[in-house]
A and B are shown apart, each in its own frame.
Chain A
Amino acid sequence: MLNDFVIRFANVNGTGSASANTMFAKAIFRMGIPVSPKNIFPSNIQGLPTWYEVRVSEKGYLGRREGIDLMLSVNPQSIPKDIANVKPGGYFLYDSTKDLHKDLLRDDIHFLGVPMMQLCMDKFADPRQRQLLKNMVYVGAIAALIDIEVPVLHQIITEQFKGKEKLITANFEALEMGIQYAKEHFQCPFPHLRVERRDNVGDWILMDGNSACGLGAVYAGATVLAWYPITPSTSLADAFGKYAKKLRVDPHTGKNNYAIVQAEDELAAIGMVIGANWNGARSFTATSGPGISLMSEFLGLAYFAEIPTVLVDVQRGGPSTGMPTRTQQSDLIAAAYASHGDTKQVLLFPSTPAECFEHMTTAFDLAEQLQTPVLVMTDLDLGMNDNMSPPLHWDDNKVYQRGKVLDAEALEKIERFGRYLDVDGDGITYRTIPGTHPTKGSFFTRGTSRDEYATYTEEGPAYVRNMDKLARKWETAKTYVPAPEFYQQEKQSNVGMIFFGTTTYAALEAKDLLEEQGIPLDVMRVKAFPFSDAVKTFIDEHERVFVVEQNRDAQFKSLLINELGTDSSDLYSILNYDGFPITADLIRQKIFKNLVGKLPPPFVPEKIGPPGAESSE
């Protein structure tokens, strides 16, 4: 339990709790202990319950874990549910300004009451301030109970309210009230459930994936962003805007080296992206499932007319409007085969903010090298939560890969320019940017069938040549996209596990748990579609392969079978699709049951032991 527990904050949406909660997570992080905070929020603006769940894991397991050790409750509306969710032996810390109804009490958990609102009423005059500072009171109480270093919290508060001395003082006071109250009324700290300084986070950072993608796009040289608001991708566009404003304003003229358009819908957003890329600027959009559906027609155009396009799909629960504020990996097939006719799209699967950042440049490089759309498939879990991540990395020697583009000089040397003429045999042909040369290199971009010289044709053979060329390019793409990552030196098991994106956190933990139970697994994280040959080799080398993903229909497994011609009876799906990030325990149980034929002995929920701190009320 030391440095290993889950705490959940039950708040009311729109009451300023987010910033207090973030401070809490950050304090633990700064004490050198790995944390993984998750926002669980409703699809409305004010009033409905929201939760903030923080897993603290000294070992660095960042996936979600079931079982709540400590529940902080300041939302009367969700109290019954919140009490029910506490693990036996766990703690329920609540605002005791109002008594808890006795029917709600459980005798297998500890109730700790702190009159947070009352304390604030007595101390602060302004009603709005009372509301906000109440959040700091509970942070103080928790700090005392689980032994968070107070100077660390002070530091964070000081940074947060830099320049606003009054606010700093008020927050310090509120924090101190919480600390004092807890110390006076409970045994502080808890004997088991507490934190202790470690050195386990190294130079890692806490960042949400959307910010990392937005910043990644700035570094990747994106100059045009066109987007349409949709949860959970909106904050990605916001982040690009925020960073661009800081980093992309020309110091001499004060003018912007970027343009952002909030389009009228996703059709227009992707249309603008295609137009800008066609014209030689790096341009991208960010959206989620419903946007992907709307963008499909244009994605087909970009595929067929061979126009670089970059899109980030921050996936949420589908189908239709689905669960807009819950996470899933369920746009895979819609994205991989977006649009009618024979189309295939390149996908990337980042799993950390550092990779979100890096994949934006990869996406632009690939899009321009392959002259096709590249869809970066993140999800709400990665996009909207602060994820612990290796630091963002940029190599100053890196040069943008702009692909096969002919300039005026190159055009001069060419007898006749053929936009779709496969001179190199790799399925990738040369393109020109409008305005390059007075008499050479112009061509007509179209979504209709064409010959090698971009001239419209309905001739069957010309159409087939073009489609085959696109298939050839797809083969080339397999050698361009990021290779899968393996987590074992060499083959150690006949059983394999495949995963991608945010499933990685839970999957790697499950691998460890199974190993402890004597079941070693070989595991592979896939980073891109099309699948490179290594993916097929891995499947072929293992008798049984588990494919872990977060959707109902095993979409990733379908892609593997469809693209690699794999024998489907070798592949077993492990699925999670309730909208919450998948847990290691679920993976462990399913794999254990499959291999051993029965359920494994229960995981962690070890009881917290004798109550160490009783409520004084």
Chain B
Amino acid sequence: MTFVRPVFRHPESPKNKLGYTRKFYEGALSTLCAGCGHDSVSGAIIQACFEMAVEPHRVAKLSGIGCSSKTPTYFLANSHGFNSVHGRMPSVATGAYLANRDLMYIGVSGDGDSASIGMGQFVHAIRRNLNITYIIMNNGCYGLTKGQDSATADKGSVNKTGAANMYNAIDMAGLALELGATFIARSFSGDKEQLIPMIKAAMSHPGFALIDVVSPCVTFNNNVGSTKSYDYTREHMEATAAVDFVPMMTEITTEYNEGDAVTVPLHDGSLIHLSKLAKDWDPRDRQSAVNRLYQAKAQGEILTGLIYIDTESRDLHSILHTTEQPLNLVEQHQLCPGSTVLEQINAGLR
């Protein structure tokens, strides 16, 4: 177990706009290994939802299979959750989203889940611009099945058994960029300062928002020689910018130096402030994002932060021209054409 909850809580623990404390956003006690990066990501999700004053029961959390996919049990106890089958969360989330466009969807997956068995579904969910916050807890290995290399393990990276990976890695952020994902970020489970605003921004984005989070597996892939270990990630992390997420209708207090900062307005009125920008990079410009990603790769850096955002994103329902009312609330009298119409149809078949 990663963290032991303090038994005593201050009676006046801070409440958010809805009057809920952070605890209200927690889930069951984690059963992951102590120190597992995934638990920190759960923590960041809890914090982001708490600070954003999200109604937990208006969130659906979905996952595939893996240690990472277990985490939805450990956050947002008051949300419905769905632990589906290995690699197939995107399709289940797509169906759920089609049924009710009004809920917020958080998808959690692993690198095995999304980059191997579920690659097809991952790719196609992006194509359809499903409105979801899609978090890949990326540890370069299959934690749950005891540490085999995953498709995101870097070539030459050494795992716990001492064997070096022989194959090229799939870069999920790069892939998503190529596929036309409308929001792409990368982060690190050990960097809450960056991860929490990233999650908030992703949740505010109307479309497929990918956060590829390096989330070390302490049990199978945190050794020397691994490129997904805590140490290695800390040493090689390079942020695109410092981020600040400003929820909608909040007064802006921080000041930014002109020239090296941009403010990206999000669909719901929230803003992302990016300061200390990387050179020649604008998150709204796909080409510059591609360049930035390749550059970082060439320099052996792990590029983190917001990589790309399409502020004109049109999500799946808007593509399909679906009614504003959630489909699961459309009533029988709106759905069933009735016997008179059927008689006409019969007549046309004679």
Which residues in A have some Cβ–Cβ distance to B below 8 Å?
29-30, 203-207, 215, 218-221, 223-224, 226, 247-248, 250, 253, 255-261, 263-265, 267-281, 283, 297-298, 301, 391-396, 399-400, 432-439, 442-448, 455-456
Of B120, B128, B335, B341, most A-chain CB atoms within 10 Å: B335
**Which residue in chain B gives the minimum CB-CB distance to A353?**
B349
Expressed in whole angstroms, the minimum distance between the Cβ of B275 and any Cβ of chain A is 37
- B residues near A (Cβ < 8 Å) are 28, 55-58, 60, 62, 72-73, 77-85, 88, 90-100, 102-103, 120-121, 123-124, 128, 317, 320-324, 327-328, 330, 332, 334-339, 341-342, 345-346, 349-350
Who on chain B is nearest to A357 by CB? B342
Q: Is the CB of A434 within 8 A of B338?
A: no
In the complex, chain A residues whose CB is within 8 Å of the CB of B121: 264, 267-268, 271
Q: Are B335 and A392 in contact, with the CB atoms below 8 A?
A: no
- Contacts of B96 on A, CB cut-off 8 Å? 275-276, 278-279, 434
Docked Cα-Cα span, A273 to B99, in Å, equals: 10
Beta-carbon contact of B321 and A272 below 8 Å: no
Hey, which chain A residues are within 8 Å of B81, CB to CB? 442-446
Q: Which residues of chain B are within 8 angstroms of A255 by Cβ–Cβ distance?
A: 321-324
Cross-chain contact B120 with A447 (CB below 8 angstroms): no
List residues of chain B with CB within 8 A of the CB of A206. 349-350
Residue ID in chain B nearest A26 by CB atoms: B350
Q: Could you name 7 residue pairs across A and B whose Cβ atoms are closer than 8 Å?
A: A206-B349, A261-B320, A264-B120, A272-B91, A275-B92, A278-B92, A447-B83
A-B contact count (CB 8 A): 221
Inter-chain contact A224/B99, CB cutoff 8 Å: yes
Smallest CB–CB gap between B228 and chain A, Å? 26
User: Complex Cα distance A438/B79, Å?
Assistant: 8
A-B contact sample (14 more), CB < 8 A, given A271-B88, A446-B81:
A203-B346, A207-B349, A215-B345, A221-B332, A264-B120, A276-B96, A279-B95, A298-B85, A392-B345, A396-B338, A399-B332, A438-B55, A438-B57, A444-B80
Residues in A neighbouring B82, C-beta threshold 8 A? 275, 278, 444-446
Q: Is B124 within 8 A of A30, CB to CB?
A: no
Contact between B57 and A394, CB atoms less than 8 A apart:
no
How far is A445 from B82 in the complex, measured between Cα atoms in Å? 5
A419 CB, nearest partner CB in chain B, Å: 10
Contact, CB under 8 Å: A271 / B92: yes
Distance in angstroms from B138 CB to nearest chain A CB is 22
A215 to B97, CA, bound (A): 24
Please determine whether B99 and A219 come into contact, CB atoms closer than 8 angstroms. no
Residues of B within 8 Å of A393, CB to CB, are 339, 342
A443, B78: Cα distance in complex, Å: 8
In the complex, the chain B residue whose C-beta lies closest to that of A354 is B346
Decide yes or no: A297 and B85 within 8 Å by CB, A221-B336, A247-B341, A261-B98 being known contacts.
Answer: yes
Residue contact A281 to B99, C-beta cutoff 8 Å = yes
Instruction: Enumerate chain A residues within 8 angstroms of B95, measured Cβ to Cβ.
Output: 224, 226, 271-279, 283
Q: B91 and A391: CB pair below 8 A?
A: no
The residue that A280 contacts in the complex, of B97, B322, B328, B339, with Cβ under 8 A, is: B328
From A204, A221, A257, A442, B79 is in contact (CB under 8 Å) with A442
Closest A-B pairs by Cβ, 9 of them: A275-B95, A271-B91, A281-B99, A272-B95, A434-B80, A280-B328, A276-B95, A279-B99, A275-B92
Contacts of B124 in A (CB 8 A): 263-264, 268
Q: How far is the CA of A435 from the CA of B61 in the complex (A)?
A: 11
Q: Are A275 and B56 in contact (CB under 8 A)?
A: no
Q: A residues within 8 A CB of B100?
A: 279-281, 434-435
A603 and B331 alpha carbons, distance in the complex (Å): 55
Minimum CB–CB distance for A147 against chain B, Å: 21
Q: Is the CB of A250 within 8 A of B99?
A: no
